Chain A
Amino acid sequence: MSKKIGDVILDLQNISLRFGGVKALTDISFNVKEHEIRAIIGPNGAGKSSMLNVINGVYHPQEGKIFWHGKERKKMEPHMASRQNIARTFQNIALFKGMTVLDNIMTGRITKMKSNFIEHALWFGRARNEELEHRKKVEEVIDFLEIQHIRKTPVGRLPYGLQKRVELARALAAEPSMLLLDEPMAGMNVEEKQDMCRFILDVNDQYGTTIVLIEHDMGVVMDISDRVVVLDYGKKIGDGVPDEVKNNEDVIKAYLGAGH
């Protein structure tokens, strides 16, 4: 596959994050380039999810700088992340269980709606046109992820693998330029994993979306990532293309234990 990886769009410099006395992240620097698939790996408790939360503004690091498209980013709230076209999925699925798949995905469009809630309640004027337009976009995502058959099914009734896919759909509905995926394949069987891999590659390929993902399945990570950063105990111990990381002494130690 020939794919164009662009310039650095997100640059994290010397990030440190503490919760009281607990150091979650210590002096971590790495960057993400446009259109690439960037994996963050590491043993449990290494600080991977914290890292993702720093990127989309849930946590605010005590030290370090974040540059987004070359400009330094000040303290930012999560909803601003979505306005900056960063979307994410969660390690524990965070969907509205009682709502249908379609409605759940529609919520991904919320930041793009311009009409106010009174117009929506009355289903009037621009609210109507707007919703039709959003629905069209959502249907494209449904088609893309091949979930037509569950369009009207409440999310709570779906198996886990499909719920994960719906969550990805909601993130995609926001038409993000950067997508953060927190363990998109955890708890899936082999077939579901293959499907998810294919969708992630397709998203990256078709829409050019930059993807940052956390994943435990090494086979998956090494297969689909362009570059991998490895964390252990809140520190960065490796960074590079999959092959480099695979042969990195520190990484092997962190995963297999010392003295190996």
Chain B
Amino acid sequence: MPTQANSASLDGLHTFPRLLFQHAQVRPNAPAMREKYLGIWQTWTWSEVSERVRALACGLASLGFKRGDNLAIIGDNRPHLYMMMTAAQCLGGVPVPLYQDAVANEMLFVLQDAGIRFVVVEDQEQVDKMLEVKEQVTTLEHIIYDDPRGMRHYNQPFLHDIHELMEMGRIHDRNHGDFLNREVEQGHFDDTSVMLYTSGTTGKPKGVCQTHAAFIAAAQGGVQVDNLGADGDILSYLPMAWVGDHLFSYAQALVAGFTINCPESGDTVMTDLREIGPTCYFAPPRVFESLLTSVMIRMEDAGKLKYKMFHHFMDVAKRCGADILDGKSVGFGDRFQYWLGNLLVYGPLRNVLGMSRIKVAYTAGAAIGPDLFKFYRSIGINLKQFYGQTETCAYVCMQPDGQIKFDSVGQPAPGVEIKIADNGEVLVKGPMLLKEYYKRPDATAETINAEGWFMTGDAGFLDEDGHLKIIDRAKDVGKLSNGAMFAPNYIENKLKFFQHIKEVVCFGHDRDMVTAFVNIDMGAVGNWAERRGIAYAGYTDLAGKPEVLELIRECVEQVNADLVHDSMVADSQIHRFLVLHKELDPDDDELTRTRKVRRNFVAEKYKVLIDALYAGKSNQYIETEVKFEDGRRGKVAADLKIIDAKTFPIVKKAA
């Protein structure tokens, strides 16, 4: 079993409820949470939060919530839902956050697997989902909702308004004064603090049980490396069911004592980001990508002077920006130009992005294109990568200030040990390892080997400075029929950095050449087409335009030209590709909820296209069923053109 942090080092504050009540004593009037409501940022101080958590915990207890019970949490990032997590932990229960945009049937498995008796949801939409599956989740007893809107005609006795629950709790607390303190006292650092379900790229989701000690250790390590203090602000907008959000918005916030800010709604995140100006920001590469895309699109439409100024200073930034941020020595001329650029371009740009106050910005979840990464660092945003899984509290490697390598995920974080297995797989040991998979001892045994190493499933290597480089998923790394290594992710990421390309899926394992499916970025390509006067009627039409195919071909050929320089991957140049007629979508099971491509599923579903790619056909007809958001189904059909891309001779082999 994994080693656990010893409790002495945590000053007795070794569970999250204890941390919360400690903050309420030390900094009662400092802001703990903010939420924008009716256009105004409402603030809860630490003492207010702790009062509410007390009330919620006692409320849960009076409904019969017991030690060991699991509490499902479903909704957007709302203060009350975060408070509910602590409330459940106070009673020795385990919060189980679920992805809120999943449909009822997708939630069913987790609800059954975790034997959920209590569920707290955000609003009517989620209540309806719960009512839909209630029959099948036989253990489900109580549903608590945060937002009472639209709930007037729901009079089922098992539905509870969260405010009523708090009232119940306050009465309970008055009558049993020391009940809650006793419950909190019983909490142990080795108890499971949260259960996060893996997104299920492979098979059914598994519940990852993490202890208080694991998440606290991970949070402490992160706070220490990046010097995060109690004066910080973070915007909490990523799904609560994701380990990243749990680490930053929950564990780190409670360890360091900074403020979490909940956006008004999913659509207002950008505005809220600008208003809050967080000091610590976390987003998957995809978000940074789309931010950059939107900046680039707007620059295309800017006036001549602005356009020239932007590109001039971006060149300056590319030359020396990252070095200045890393504190390396830079010539006076460049330094002056950068200073000027900071005044005219980078500063305002950071402001537009809502990153003026950023101390550190993180990205993880997928590999980030080096150019994208460089862009943010060069304009003075301290963007870092880190590496970790749900099973490791998203805490394995971090990039310390001044030692950023664009193509690595950093050095092992404090307390973490790393080893590379013979087959190239990355193995990890440390205090942040999972306790177990919920009710799945078989899976637990499979993933933690006899010596206590967790097998990440990622292929990578440590470079001469001890930085970890991740190539791909170990199981995705394949071989071309001539024996050369084929790392699809590596090629796909190179392509995805082009603003016109949103998603790519490459094929090549056991084949004589590499081929690809491409999804265009509707925003960027749409804008590009408009400026050229190309009329189109939706995604399918746009994706089939000869001009667009030509545009994508140029991107592919640039990547080929780039690949040929690296002997490891020179054989993986893309020979043929096609642009898919529909966007890959989690609703159609093609992406996971965290928007990773489900490679095998896609390969299976579009087998006819792959066959056409390798059979040398020049076009292929396909009809695909799609699911709309409201559950209806429809069909998309198109005759897809298959394009041959220019490849470059491999120098080494010719020689």
Contact = CB atoms under 8 A, between A and B. Distances in A.
Contacts of A206: 149-150, 152
B628 to A, nearest CB: 8
Given A1-B153, A191-B630, A202-B150, A149 B38 contact: no
Interface in B14-48: 36-40
A194 interface: yes
Contacts of A146: 265
Nearest to A141: B38
B38 A2 contact: no
Given A139-B39, A148-B268, 12 more contacts: A1-B153, A2-B153, A139-B40, A142-B38, A142-B39, A143-B38, A149-B268, A151-B39, A194-B630, A202-B150, A205-B152, A205-B153
B267 interface: yes
A139 B265 contact: no
A136 interface: yes
A140 interface: yes
Chain B interface main SS type: loop
29 contacts: A1-B153, A2-B153, A136-B38, A139-B38, A139-B39, A139-B40, A140-B38, A142-B38, A142-B39, A143-B38, A144-B149, A146-B265, A148-B39, A148-B265, A148-B267, A148-B268, A149-B265, A149-B268, A149-B271, A151-B39, A152-B271, A191-B629, A191-B630, A194-B630, A205-B152, A205-B153, A206-B149, A206-B150, A206-B152
A-side interface size class: 10 to 19
A226 to B, nearest CB: 16
B172 to A, nearest CB: 31
Interface in A1-18: 1-2
Interface in B125-150: 149-150
Contacts of A135: 39
Nearest to A144: B149
A146 B150 CA distance: 13
Contacts of B267: 148-149
Contacts of A148: 36, 39, 264-265, 267-268
Contacts of B271: 149, 152
A88 B313 CA distance: 52
A250 to B, nearest CB: 35
Nearest to B270: A149
A205 B265 CA distance: 23
Interface string A110-154: 000000000000000000000000011001101110101101100
A152 B268 CA distance: 11
Contacts of A136: 38
Contacts of B153: 1-2, 205
A149 to B, nearest CB: 4
Contacts of A1: 153
A146 B149 CA distance: 12
Nearest to A202: B150
A16 to B, nearest CB: 41
A135 B38 CA distance: 9
A45 to B, nearest CB: 32
A41 B82 CA distance: 49
A205 B152 CA distance: 9
Contacts of A151: 39
Interface string A191-212: 1001000000010011000000
Contacts of B149: 144, 206
Contacts of B36: 148
Contacts of B152: 205-206
Contacts of B37: 143
Contacts of B40: 139
Contacts of A2: 153
Interface string A1-45: 110000000000000000000000000000000000000000000
A-B residue pairs, 9 tightest by C-beta: A149-B267, A139-B38, A139-B39, A149-B268, A148-B264, A148-B268, A148-B265, A1-B153, A143-B38
B273 to A, nearest CB: 12
Interface in B35-73: 36-40
A179 to B, nearest CB: 18
A65 B450 CA distance: 91
Contacts of B39: 135, 139, 142, 148, 151
Contacts of B629: 191
Contacts of B268: 148-149
Nearest to A3: B153
Contacts of A152: 271
Nearest to B265: A148
Interface string B603-643: 00000000000000000000000000110000000000000
A151 B275 CA distance: 14
A38 to B, nearest CB: 21
A202 B148 CA distance: 13
Interface in A181-240: 191, 194, 202, 205-206
Interface in B466-484: none
Contacts of B265: 146, 148-149
A112 B271 CA distance: 30
Interface-central residue, A148, A191, A194, A206, by most chain B CB under 10 Å: A148
Interface-central residue, B38, B153, B265, B267, by most chain A CB under 10 Å: B38
Interface in B263-280: 264-265, 267-268, 271
A191 B271 CA distance: 25
B123 to A, nearest CB: 11
A233 B38 CA distance: 46
A206 B271 CA distance: 29
Nearest to B266: A149
A1 B265 CA distance: 28
Interface string B212-238: 000000000000000000000000000
